Structure 1
Amino acid sequence: MTAKAPKVVRVPKAAYEHELSRLQAELVTMQQWVKVSGARIVVIFEGRDAAGKGSAIKRVTEYLNPRIARIVALPMPTDRERTQWYFQRYIEHLPAAGEIVLMDRSWYNRAGVERVMGYCTNDEYHRFLHQAPIFERMLVEDGILVVKYWFSVSDREQEKRFRSRLNDPMRRWKLSETDVLSITKWADYSRAKDDMFVHTDIPEARWWVVESEDKRASRLNVISHLLSLVPFERSDPPKVHIPPRPKVSDYERPPRDQMNPVPDHAATLLKANERSAQSEAL
């Protein structure tokens, strides 16, 4: 029987937006330090389906340079990739100097969905649990900061979010048959997560649990915590001087009727708004 989850007190929207803006400004400062210092950072986002990993990643990267902060969300492996060493296809996505890589799911697929859904053999699974800590220690020894987040959400909140996606045409694509199976296999995923933590929560790369019943709180918490783990210093970018625009006398723009403009859809909205305002005035 599922225990009744405690009532969640959600962060007020105004307070959330104010603090999110402040934290995102700090992320921009951190990004500049990463660029200048040549630091390499890998941030892994794992957790329950619908726990808020994707939305957290969006808030982290919203104002960052995509050339510095890259999101990696790999599709299913190809037939060729299935014959490679398991970690091989992830290695090419690791950061070079001055880069941050945010993994929307990672090599831990093997310890989660592949284990629960039977997509890997027992030998492959146990080999992963043995090799993952070794692999991550190698990354850390080479100077890469590895940060691992597990987003936790209750079964009731997860189902609520699934149903919300099902009825929202803008987000229905985020709901798959495999996602829905996480409802019936809740206990299996719980055991898989527990076993994964036992074998891979190492001092060099700890697992950090993000409580995600309130998505606003989880986003603020994960950004604040990430900033606390990166030893960045303020490094302002060089000032850019914008020169005065010179006068151009030897260029004439081609006639507009020779171009193919995008239809002015916005103008139809303005006209509709004017008609609505006139109707209300009558």
Structure 2
Amino acid sequence: MKRKAYEKELSKLQVQLCDLQEWVKKEKLRVIVLFEGRDAAGKGGTIKAITEKVSPRVFKVVALPAPSDREKTQMFMQRYMQHFPAGGEIVIFDRSWYNRAGVEYVMGFCAADEHTRFLSLCPQIEKYVVDGGIILIKLWLEVGMDEQERRFRARIDDPVRQWKLSPMDIESYRRWYDYSRARDLMLKSTSSKHAPWHIVRSDDKRRARLNCIAHLLKSIPFKHLSPDEVRLPKRSSKGRYDDQASLRAMTFVAERY
């Protein structure tokens, strides 16, 4: 998709996201959006496109690191639940509890019985979440083998993107088919009527971002709220002083540009 057409459509969708934001605040809605997918599938870029023009107080992004020693002894879902939304919040998980069905299972970080138990209990837990009034949206971004390799190689050659390429990413590249089998088992076991999976093809990053935002907007019924009229008041001259003089006494950053 050409950049000009993408940016034009993205701008329209971002206006709607701002409308959605005001509706979520007014109605005290609670929303969880999960982004899962293969490494280099475009999750980060999609989340950035969603959150670029909205308030971080409403659209909260959660990207948890590897569990600490203490968290490893907790109930598996516990460290995610503490980030669940309150009224008027949309929480976006950049990877989620589905780590257990993906990287933890493939890389041997959890036992086989823990993996089986997770797949069995997860739909029940999500039903409890949905029945409690939370809107749960689950998105899987699927990138092709050749495109993933192209993106990995681009990261290797770009010094400002090398941080995106971790040893775990390299291993996921090697274990493509192991991840494919884990993905299929996860989708089959945890896609339910109350919390279905929605798959987004992401070989074309721009189209994937637009499709994700459009699906998000479709999944949460909302109305446009007319904003209150805002007028700037007159500045008060009470206590007036030469504020620029006080600044001149400070040390400024050297202006190089």
| Category of TM-score, reference length = shorter chain | over 0.9
> What is the CA–CA distance in structure 2 between the aligned matches of 1:250 and 1:183, rounded to whole Å?
64
Sequence identity (%): 50
Deviations 1:30-83 (A, max 9, x none): 000000000010000000000000000000000110001000000000000000
Work out whether 1:86 is the aligned partner of 2:105.
no
What is the letter of the counterpart of residue 254 of structure 2? P
Amino acid at match of 2:174: T
1:251 and 2:241 are equivalent in the alignment: yes
Out of 131, 142, 165, which is 2:155 matched to? 165
Quick one: distance in 2 between partners of 1:262 and 1:160? 40
Equivalent residue in structure 2 for 1:77, among 67, 74, 91: 67
Indicate conservation of the 8 Å contact 1:39/1:98, yes or no. Answer: yes
Q: Is the 8 A contact 1:32 1:237 kept in 2?
A: no
Matches of 1:116 and 1:207 in 2, distance apart? 20
Distance in 2, matches of 1:74 and 1:22, equals 31
- Paired residues for 1:111-260 under 5 Å: 111-248=101-238, 250-253=240-243, 254-260=245-251
CA contact (8 A) 1:42 1:145 kept: yes
CA deviation digits over 1:147-176, x for unaligned, max 9?
Answer: 000000111100100000011111100001
Q: Secondary structure at the match of 1:265?
A: coil
Dislocated runs of 4+, deviation >4 Å: none
Alignment-derived partner of residue 274 in structure 1? none
Query: Are 1:263 and 2:254 matched, yes or no?
Result: yes
Matched residue of 2:227: which SS? coil
The SS at the match of 1:208 is strand
Query: Retained in 2: the 8 A contact 1:41–1:144?
Result: yes
The alpha-carbon deviation at position 131 of structure 1 amounts to 1.4
Find the aligned partners of 2:65 and 2:86 in 1 and give their Cα distance. Answer: 22
Per-residue CA deviations over 1:238-267 (Å, capped at 9, x if unaligned) read 33221122335642324444202111122x
Show CA shifts across 1:188-219 (max 9, x none): 00000000011100011110001001000000
- 2:237 and 2:109 map into 1 onto residues whose CA distance is 65
* CA–CA separation in structure 2 for the residues paired with 1:256 and 1:90: 46
* Contact 1:210 1:218 (C-alpha < 8 Å) held by counterparts: yes
The amino acid across from 2:109 in the alignment is: Y
**Among residues 18, 33, 45, which one is paired with 2:8 in the alignment?**
18
**Alignment RMSD:** 1.1
User: For residues 235 and 110 of structure 1, what CA distance do their matches in structure 2 show?
Assistant: 40
Contact 1:165 1:175 in 2 (8 A): yes
> Aligned partners of 2:210, 2:134: CA distance in 1, in Å?
24
CA-CA distance at 1:186 after TM superposition: 0.5
1:70-108 Cα distance to aligned partner (Å, 9 max, x none):
000000000000000000000010000000000000000
Range with bigger deviation, 32-41 or 235-244: 235-244
Aligned to 2:100: 110
Q: Does 1:42 align with 2:32?
A: yes
**1:146·1:205 contact (CA, 8 Å) conserved in 2?**
yes
Gaps of 5+ in 2: none
- The answer (yes or no) to whether the contact 1:29–1:236 under 8 Å persists in 2 is no
Which residue does 1:270 correspond to in 2? none
Question: What one-letter code is carried by the residue in structure 2 that aligns with 1:55?
Answer: G
Unaligned 5+ runs, structure 1: 1-10, 267-282
